[in-house]
Amino acid sequence: MPTISTNDLKNGMTLEIDGALFGVVDFQHVKPGKGGAFVRTTLKNARTGAVVEKTFRADEKVERAMIDKKEMQFLYRDGEDYVFMDAETYDQLPMPTSVLGSAVDYLVEGSAPVMLMYGTEVVGVDLPAAVELTVSETEPGVQGDRVSGARKPATLETGLVVQVPLFIESGERVKVDTRSGEYLSKA
């Protein structure tokens, strides 16, 4: 495994520390008037999602984890597991909801998210910035109720509930931001 200096850290890098995978969320080089320089980091555990703060000496060596990206197609849901197919080998891979996290709110059959792989283990899902989903249930907009910016809840095909404008009806497709979970536009 390649080692890098803490002086070379960048946001988004993945490190292996004590057998756990951590993504660098934020880092700051500090040079106090007295004593040696150090690097203060905010790290997010790739497996549990826990955020920790850790301080390293300047130029300390840490192991960098090599994360591969592999596009997989979401086939179907099997109980609590989501089954994906590797586009190259056609192998099917069941994944529990705990690994996928909030990505399950944006996965529809046939979609092809990019899986973040550490060896053979899936440690995360890289979704596009926005996805198009069908509204499965929402209240009809009342005639004359056209207040500017008014919103109503809508349940999407994945079960996600978002606030949409009053003119959106059941069966329509909407574009949703995968980072914030907010309605963007009509598809």
Q: Give the tens place of pLDDT for each residue, 4-33.
A: 888 888 888 888 888 888 888 899 988 888
Per-residue pLDDT, 145: 59
Alpha-carbon distance 108 to 111, whole Å?
A: 6
Domain boundary at 48, 64, 80, which? Answer: 64
For a pLDDT cut of 90, what percent of the chain falls above it?
3
Verify that 106 and 144 share a domain, yes or no: no
Per-residue pLDDT, 147: 63
Verify that 143 and 165 share a domain, yes or no: yes
- pLDDT band of residue 142 (cuts 50, 70, 90) is low
DSSP letter for each residue of 90-153: --EEEEEHHHHGGGGGG--TT--PEEEEETTEEEEEE--SEEEEEEEEEPPPPTT---TT-EEE
- pLDDT tens for 36-84 read 889 999 998 887 778 899 998 888 898 988 888 888 898 988 888 889 9
Alpha-carbon torsion (93, 94, 95, 97), positive or negative:
positive
Nearest to 111 by CA among 160, 80, 77, 148: 77
Alpha-carbon distance 179 to 102, whole Å?
A: 10
Mean pLDDT of 110-123: 84
Nearest to 112 by CA among 125, 123, 124: 125
Per-residue pLDDT, 42: 92
Helix (H) or strand (E) holding 156: strand 151-156
Per-residue pLDDT, 40: 92
Q: Write the CATH number for 86.
A: 2.40.50.140
For a pLDDT cut of 70, what percent of the chain falls above it?
95
Average of per-residue pLDDT values in the chain: 85
CB neighbours (10 Å) of residue 16? 17
How many structural domains does the chain have? 3
Checking DSSP bridges between strand 81-86 and strand 92-96, what pairing results, if any?
antiparallel
Query: What range defines the domain where residue 75 resides?
Result: 68-126
Q: Write the CATH number for 24.
A: 2.30.30.30
